Amino acid sequence: MALLPILRFPDARLKKIAAPVEKIDDGIRALVADMAETMYEAPGIGLAATQVNIHKQVVVIDISEEKNQLLVLINARITHKDGVQVYEEGCLSVPGIYDKVERAAQVTVEYLDLEGQPQTLSTDGLLAVCIQHELDHLQGRVFVDHLSQLKQMRIKNKLAKQARITA
């Protein structure tokens, strides 16, 4: 397993749309292991392959306190949304930035697990938010894309300033 570098907003590679996984093989399993290690180390609760510059439809999520309930979503698609919730979101690709985003309160998602078996999951709360957030990454969207143009500009400026300070 290896830690993978996480792309930082506004890197143009975060806008790339991920391709479906054709075959779940040892390469995909190794990617999932590396993504999980990277997510836990960051620390975060979700990571999309796009964020580590691999443009395949792979997402890892673990919202448990113990960090022992890894959920792997391959070729996931949301088949049902219901209700509305506003949640303060952050992102490993947008470090130190948090803002409220409106998303569906409940979602149903269909996906393949790590064994290639089709699964369906209906959920709400934080897990629903996390699934929507990570699947956005696979479509080339970052959570700040849901914010006003003014907020987006402020975030870009703040991150640019942080990059100059740490350089």
Active site amino acids: 134
Structural contact between residues 50 and 21, judged by C-beta atoms closer than 8 angstroms: no
Helix (H) or strand (E) holding 129: helix 125-138
Structural contact between residues 123 and 106, judged by C-beta atoms closer than 8 angstroms: yes
Structural contact between residues 10 and 36, judged by C-beta atoms closer than 8 angstroms: no
Q: What are phi and psi of 97, to 5 degrees?
A: -110, 130
